[in-house]
Structure 1
Amino acid sequence: MLSLDLSKSTAHWLDRATVAWRGETSPSSRYALVYSPKADIAYDDTGDLTGDIHLIRLSPGALTDAQRAAWPHLRDYSALIVDPRDAGLVKDALRSQLVAAEWDLSGGLLAATGVQFPGVLDDVYAAALSSELGPAGRVLPRLSVWAPTARKVELRLNDRVLPMRRDDSTGVWSVTGPPTWYGRYYTYLVTVVAGGVLVTNEVPDPYSLSVSAGGRRSHLVRLNASALKPPGWDKLAKPAAVRQDRAIIYELHVRDFSASDSSVPAAERGTYKAFTGDGAGMEALRGLAADGLTHVHLLPVFDFATVPERRSDRAEPAYDFATMPADSEEQQAGVAATAATDSFNWGYDPLHYAVPEGSYATDPEGSARIREFRAMVRALNKAGLRVIMDVVYNHTHAAGQGEGSVLDRVVPGYYHRLLADGTVADSTCCANTAPEHAMMGRLVVDSVVTWAKAYKIDGFRFDLMGHHPKAGMLAVRQALDALTLARDGVDGKTILLYGEGWNFGEVACDARFVQATQGNLAGTGIGTFNDRLRDAVRGGGPFDADPGIRGFGSGLADTPGARLADGEELIMLGLTGNLKDYVLPSGEKGSEISYNGSPAGYADSPGETVNYVDAHDNETLYDALAYKLPRDTPMADRVRMQALSLATVMLSQSTAFLHAGTERLRSKSLDRNSYDSGDWFNRLLWDCAQGNGFGAGLPPRRDNESKWPYARPLLADPALKPDCAAINTARDRFGDLLRVRTSSPVFGLGSLSEIQNRLTFPATRVPGVITMHLDATGIDPRWKSITVIFNATSQTARQTVAALAEATVTLHPVQAASTDPIVRQSTFDGATGTFTVPARTVAVFVRPA
């Protein structure tokens, strides 16, 4: 059957000798790679190919076992082998328009398709992996860009156009200039075949270190220049490092932090500078650090595309939202009207991977953002907090020739993952990148190392990490581990590494490579988010049509059943670190327990699990409880259930991860996806007199309309708006949890053997109550053991631990001195070893050494 479609690319050039061909090959056909340096391949009236065409002859063969293993999604393809006589044509063909074609023996064209060529680029230009890229040079600036498929690359420096030299072994183009180049703006003029057409793209440097406002031009700087460093930068004193399983992480958005804070000067709200002053937000962070918080995790702060960087280019909503009814549609409509041009976006749409975002700088033009970003890091470190970056390498804002496309306009068809027909995959919401390709993988490693060395970042959270190869994440870990204080100014081994290990899309179930997913990362020390504990505590899942499905922390204990028992088992497993080989009281290992048909336990060590019950994604914990708790639940009980839910995270063996404001009952007015919901729905309110954000109007129609019937009566209910007393109480309870967790090494046992030997669930199971016992003998000089009772029921709970009969056990000193009068009612009867804990309370007891 005649198959002629040059708009698709179904052939794959795997290496210099092999093309994978979809379908069977025939001994009665002739095959070739057809290429045209002029990009003028077309069909003539007879249906044959015309233009300035050249041929690389191909003959039918078979994929090797190694090739099938390297390209599992192509394992059923046929192979065409490059004629050795034409091997010298490969590099020229790669810089041309490419078509794979089949003719019958009489010369009739049977099939023609475009060609995917990342594999052969990685093979032919493997030397590029060790080449210098981006701005470099101590005295004389040198610029280098990998563009192996380009016919020509030139440098535009301000208004001058200068030639660049190609290294034929690496495909890297470079140019060296005088010191006067520093401080100037530049772009590359890349003449290349894109979409079957020869074009000249003007594009910024993929390895940019500084850019113009809007990111259209690169800015040539030396990151070690004194003018780009705030005072004391080179001798920055960091808070003490903590092991990954001991980390307590606070997820924070730069703009949220101060946009609604009147204690910050107006010109600095929503910027890096807000962290360098004495506003209410910094006072709150210093208080959290004093209680035990270790890290601030910043949502994307690399240069992203969706917020106009100049304030003069932005348009904010012109409404007095505060005067509108709590259940009105008007607020979300007003936010939507300016969403494309306002100051807010989460920022998961990368433009330049190694440049700070400009909309968070007081001046987005050039290098001011670098100095202000560093000053922010310094201020957070001074406050006692290490800094983590949220990084998004799984997709870019755009691909192809579109506005905001960078990588794909330098090497078209390489940096993004292509589907079987050559179209760009978008399962991550945008144009998926392909970090399995060598130079995209290198870009990931190089930019992470830049942030670690030049900005002294203490950790990285990878967005949709399951779309990365496990090998790529191990390469990142290896590169970080190689950084030393003496040589690089940072101790790379203390840098945390974790991400979303979800398994979906075109790469699901290791379809293209071994993914960096939850189970696959066991044994690596790289952490992944634990959705098992999250769902068991909150109830249901993030995509439920009915948001009222309850869990352990949202009232399910009052109607016990099999679902509660299953959830409690997931929570117990989560408390251990979600270890796959931990043996639970049921006798089952963690990996033998089911979570939606998959093994619940997946980690080898507790640092490989990040426990959480809310994050920027999905409803906040307060909002989830608003949906799930009975409508008439008193505010005091809501506060207690908030604390109980957070306690499952805080008192676990894993990394504890918290959404900013959760300690203050933060609400987004039931918005489940606030990525573009403006400042109004994303307010982080440090002044309790302003409330917690609940009742800000119906959440944006875009992602919430199906839940409006559930949301409307809740938002209209004034009883669900917490007052200062409730907010301050929630903060106090969270502070208690911080101080309890950091009070003893027993909350960070660190290994399966220690956890299996020291962490038990010794009491008879009572629905809605979990009793965890921690043996502290020999590792805590103050206490022999710690016992934690999680009572999620609405009744007083009694739990007997026979081994503690006749022992002296008291309430933890933090709770004994707590401002919570209810937890102080918790008691222990030494005669029987029985604990008594009030309703909706987490009580921690200690046995003195």
Structure 2
Amino acid sequence: MSPNVFPGKPEPLGATFVDGGINFSVYSEFCDSVDLCLFDSIDSQKESQRIRMPSKTGPIWHCFLQGIKPGQLYGYRVHGPYSPEKGHRFNENKVLSDPYAKWIARLPTWHSSLFSYSRTDLQFREIPPEELLRMDTRDNAPFAALSEVIHSDFDWEQDVRPNIPWKNTIIYEAHIKGMTALHPDISPKLRGTYAGFYSEPIIRHLKKLGITTVELLPIHQCFDSLRLYNNHLTDYWGYNSLTYFSPDRRFSRSTSGIECINEFKNMIKQLHKSGIEVILDSVYNHTCENSHFGPSLSFRGIDNFSYYKLDKLDLTKYDDSTGTGNRLNVENPYVAKMILDSMKFWVTEMHIDGFRFDLARSLVRNEKVPNNIENPFLTAINSDPVFSGVKLIAEPWDLGKDGYQIGSFPKPWSEWNAQFRDCSRKFWRGDRGILGEFATRIAGSSDLFRKEGRSPYSSINYVACHDGFTLEDLVSYEKKHNAENLEQNKDGWDYSYSSNFGVEGPTTSGEILSRRDRRKRNLLTTLFISQGVPMIGAGDELGKTQKGNNNSYCQDNETNYINWDLDARYKILLEYAINLIRFRKEHSSLRRDQFFEGKLRPDHFSRDILWISETGEELVKSQWESEARKSFGFLLPPPSDNNESLNDDISNRNSSLLFLLNASEEPIDFLLTNYLGDGIWIRAFDTWEAEFDRETFSLNVGQKYRLREESMVGFHFTTAQASPIMKDKGLSYE
């Protein structure tokens, strides 16, 4: 029985359930007409009904179908010119998924009919121009993606977002499947799923570690590229989105759209109940339709000229700054609106707490407004009350011209700080001539972010993430080992600033393992004593290895899965990480709201940060500029309420911290500074040792501490009477 067709409304875009039927709305500016195609099941080889959408408001086509209910499967056929040389790829023979689809009930099945141009093979190859210009007339309906009308009625139980202040935020970058696939305490039925991620063992681990915020690798519905398909690999990371509104079905216990969506919502609700925020890594810069040789699955066939940024010199191609083959045309207000609508959907309907924008530089490329401060897309986000309090994180680069733009995003955005990552690795590797830069990174990278009223929380600090070596591999490999990606080991970074300490990969040498473990402690400790927002990669606290693969995007196997069966070494590492994060939370001087000024404070005893040498005196210019210097220390008094005044009282001095760092190959005797007056320094940790101190070890002001090679130590100050000096583990103190 055919439904009654009415004009419907242009807004909201997508398929919306209203009383008595469904309103369908799709944006296509340059097409001639749009057919709405209804399918009876995911096994359907052809639509059961094809309805010419009767109404157009501006560039939006729309209709209302009376009697249609949620659960209806649908797609679009879009009529218009097939003129790739003019930027148009319309082909009415192709069923296309809705860009606003809330659920993809059936993913595309790779077949040559998915391409709008004529080809009969699925080889991953360059296509001759004459082949690209010939329209394919075959019907792709048996192989096309099918969208589903969704109406979710979920009980959030008065869900409240944790709203963790930036100063207290500790981010944990995780993959749904990688986190849960091998966990022995999670039911096998739940491993690799949203439900597995909010299971008690995972939440217990996150809480014990001290995590406040989980940053999930992409969970928008993705689709494997042709190259991966041909090589029997998968888009494991998920950075090739098919739609920006549907959760990825890979991570659901069910094939039902409603059940998957509710499973995702339950994950958010349970994490919120545990006080944990959720940030989504979102890939709004490109889609899974790949290059101009790629398939027509959705955007390309609906309106290629509008959705994508085309090459001005050759409209058959794309202006690709992402390295993926295409780039969304965010300068088009309707494309920008789609991204904003997607963000609003995930905030209001799915209750997520923030976004990390993959290759965010591509989103703000604008020929008319090159300045990010005035960028219309960023302005639209920053001025929308829906996003007030939502965490916004940019990956501030892409692969195009002038692609590296760290520090260019406006308040209240934060940015991944790759310079912190690289400089930390270089310092602890023993590189020369970087002392000044390393100190700047520890202090919050004011050279990058001190403008437009921004704060140290603009810097997302990390030493390892999904992209590159894990922390374990960073100290075990000097070369990438990406052969299993089947790209002849050409993919991934060649410059990781890593060390293997004499053996590439696994070793049984106790000396090498000891040095590797110490390097991991040095890097983690640097991360958590630095100003800014720390982010740790999931599993780095557990010794996760990818066996030297520094680009594991296509490995849906144990290469990426966290191994929870810990030996003694990794149990010690986990306990160290737990204590380290607790230490950060206990000391507000590690979580400042404003950048250091380096000026004397009114309390007379110190600057807001004091950089010192092994003599206990302030570092001078010649020492900063020394190529050979690989050691220094810094004193942190507690932050004052307004960063301008602080009463000189005992409680304030007792909150002061002292850190000494030695990346050289020789031990150094550090004189413990007397800038705070009489008192003692109580050791909190020394990375030469595998564990945080379990007993009080203290030294009087004016004594020396022997800091071993390739290690760092942290003290806190007290004005209490000097306690007995302890001789500890054979080390010499004066």
TM-score of Structure 1 vs Structure 2, range by shorter chain: 0.7 to 0.9
Q: Is the 8 A contact 2:360 2:398 kept in 1?
A: no
Aligned-pair CA distance for 1:478 = 1.9
Aligned-pair CA distance for 1:341 = 4.6
- Matching residue within 355, 361, 385 for 2:252: 361
Residue 432 in structure 1 maps to residue 327 in structure 2: yes
Question: Equivalent residues in 2 for 1:233-382 (5 A)?
Answer: 233-243=156-166, 245-279=167-201, 281-288=202-209, 292-306=210-224, 340-341=231-232, 345-382=236-273
Q: Is the 8 A contact 2:674 2:701 kept in 1?
A: no
SS at match of 1:266: coil
Q: Is the 8 A contact 2:467 2:550 kept in 1?
A: yes
Describe the superposition over 1:422-448 as per-residue Cα deviations: whole angstroms up to 9, x where unpaired: 212344232222222222222111111
Equivalent position of 1:622 in the other structure: 472
SS at match of 1:136: strand
Q: Quick one: which amino acid aligns to residue 53 of structure 2?
A: M
Equivalent position of 1:107 in the other structure: none
Q: Quick one: which amino acid aligns to residue 616 of structure 1?
A: H
Q: Is the 8 A contact 2:456 2:531 kept in 1?
A: yes
Q: Quick one: which amino acid aligns to residue 716 of structure 2?
A: V
Q: Quick one: which amino acid aligns to residue 299 of structure 1?
A: L
Equivalent position of 1:536 in the other structure: 423
Aligned-pair CA distance for 1:524 = 2.3
CA distance in 1 between partners of 2:216 and 2:711 (Å): 31
Residue 151 in structure 1 maps to residue 80 in structure 2: no
Q: Quick one: which amino acid aligns to residue 420 of structure 2?
A: L
Residue 829 in structure 1 maps to residue 700 in structure 2: yes
Describe the superposition over 1:586-621 as per-residue Cα deviations: whole angstroms up to 9, x where unpaired: xxxx9xxxxxxxxxx999421221111111111112
- Matching residue within 411, 433, 439 for 1:524: 411
CA distance in 1 between partners of 2:416 and 2:236 (Å): 23
Distance 1:452 1:240, change over 3 A: closer
CA distance in 1 between partners of 2:694 and 2:545 (Å): 25
Distance 1:341 1:273, change over 3 A: farther
Aligned-pair CA distance for 1:165 = 3.0
Q: Quick one: which amino acid aligns to residue 564 of structure 1?
A: R
Equivalent position of 2:428 in the other structure: 553
Q: Is the 8 A contact 2:336 2:377 kept in 1?
A: no
Aligned-pair CA distance for 1:276 = 3.2
Q: Quick one: which amino acid aligns to residue 235 of structure 1?
A: Q
- Matching residue within 573, 586, 597 for 1:730: 573
Q: Is the 8 A contact 1:823 1:838 kept in 2?
A: no
How many residue pairs get matched?
A: 591
Aligned-pair CA distance for 1:684 = 0.6
Aligned-pair CA distance for 1:819 = 7.6
Aligned-pair CA distance for 1:342 = 5.7
Equivalent position of 1:660 in the other structure: 538
Question: Equivalent residues in 2 for 1:103-118 (5 A)?
Answer: none
- Matching residue within 494, 506, 510 for 2:389: 494
Q: Is the 8 A contact 1:580 1:604 kept in 2?
A: no
SS at match of 1:770: strand
Alignment RMSD (CA, Å): 3.2
Equivalent position of 1:118 in the other structure: none
Segment drifting more, 745-754 vs 662-671: 745-754
CA distance in 1 between partners of 2:565 and 2:713 (Å): 29
Structure 2 gap segments, 5+ residues each: 1-9, 40-47, 109-144, 365-371, 478-498, 503-508, 600-606, 614-618, 720-734
Distance 1:155 1:616, change over 3 A: same
- Matching residue within 666, 675, 678 for 2:556: 678
Q: Is the 8 A contact 2:682 2:718 kept in 1?
A: no
Aligned-pair CA distance for 1:773 = 1.8
Equivalent position of 2:385 in the other structure: 482
Q: Quick one: which amino acid aligns to residue 153 of structure 1?
A: V
Residue 187 in structure 1 maps to residue 85 in structure 2: no
CA distance in 2 between partners of 1:406 and 1:175 (Å): 19
Q: Is the 8 A contact 1:260 1:685 kept in 2?
A: yes
Q: Quick one: which amino acid aligns to residue 13 of structure 2?
A: L
CA distance in 2 between partners of 1:674 and 1:347 (Å): 11
SS at match of 1:537: helix
CA distance in 2 between partners of 1:644 and 1:404 (Å): 49
Segment drifting more, 760-769 vs 466-475: 760-769
Q: Is the 8 A contact 2:150 2:257 kept in 1?
A: no
Q: Is the 8 A contact 2:220 2:241 kept in 1?
A: yes
Structure 1 gap segments, 5+ residues each: 1-129, 309-335, 484-491, 510-514, 539-550, 557-562, 583-589, 591-600, 689-723
Q: Is the 8 A contact 2:673 2:701 kept in 1?
A: no
Q: Quick one: which amino acid aligns to residue 241 of structure 1?
A: I
Q: Is the 8 A contact 1:579 1:603 kept in 2?
A: no
Describe the superposition over 1:556-576 as per-residue Cα deviations: whole angstroms up to 9, x where unpaired: 2xxxxxx4232x322211112
Equivalent position of 1:209 in the other structure: 102
Question: Equivalent residues in 2 for 1:703-722 (5 A)?
Answer: none
TM-score (norm 2): 0.74
Aligned-pair CA distance for 1:145 = 0.8
SS at match of 1:390: strand
Distance 1:801 1:307, change over 3 A: same
Distance 1:812 1:184, change over 3 A: farther
Aligned-pair CA distance for 1:241 = 1.7
Segment drifting more, 193-202 vs 524-533: 193-202
Q: Is the 8 A contact 1:575 1:652 kept in 2?
A: yes
CA distance in 2 between partners of 1:516 and 1:365 (Å): 42
Equivalent position of 1:218 in the other structure: 147
Q: Quick one: which amino acid aligns to residue 429 of structure 1?
A: G
Question: Equivalent residues in 2 for 1:438-477 (5 A)?
Answer: 438-469=333-364, 470=372, 471=375, 474-475=378-379, 477=381
Percent of counterpart pairs with the same letter? 22
Residue 748 in structure 1 maps to residue 591 in structure 2: yes
Residue 565 in structure 1 maps to residue 469 in structure 2: no
Equivalent position of 1:421 in the other structure: 314
CA distance in 2 between partners of 1:250 and 1:602 (Å): 28
- Matching residue within 629, 638, 647 for 2:516: 638
Q: Is the 8 A contact 1:417 1:425 kept in 2?
A: yes
Larger relative helix fraction: 1
Equivalent position of 2:54 in the other structure: 165
SS at match of 2:95: strand
CA distance in 2 between partners of 1:254 and 1:369 (Å): 14
Segment drifting more, 153-162 vs 249-258: 153-162
Q: Is the 8 A contact 2:632 2:662 kept in 1?
A: yes
Q: Is the 8 A contact 1:823 1:843 kept in 2?
A: no
Distance 1:404 1:341, change over 3 A: farther
Aligned-pair CA distance for 1:347 = 0.6
Q: Is the 8 A contact 1:811 1:826 kept in 2?
A: yes
CA distance in 2 between partners of 1:760 and 1:525 (Å): 29
CA distance in 1 between partners of 2:448 and 2:182 (Å): 46
Describe the superposition over 1:513-534 as per-residue Cα deviations: whole angstroms up to 9, x where unpaired: xx8931322x423122222221
CA distance in 1 between partners of 2:165 and 2:598 (Å): 18
Aligned-pair CA distance for 1:580 = 1.6
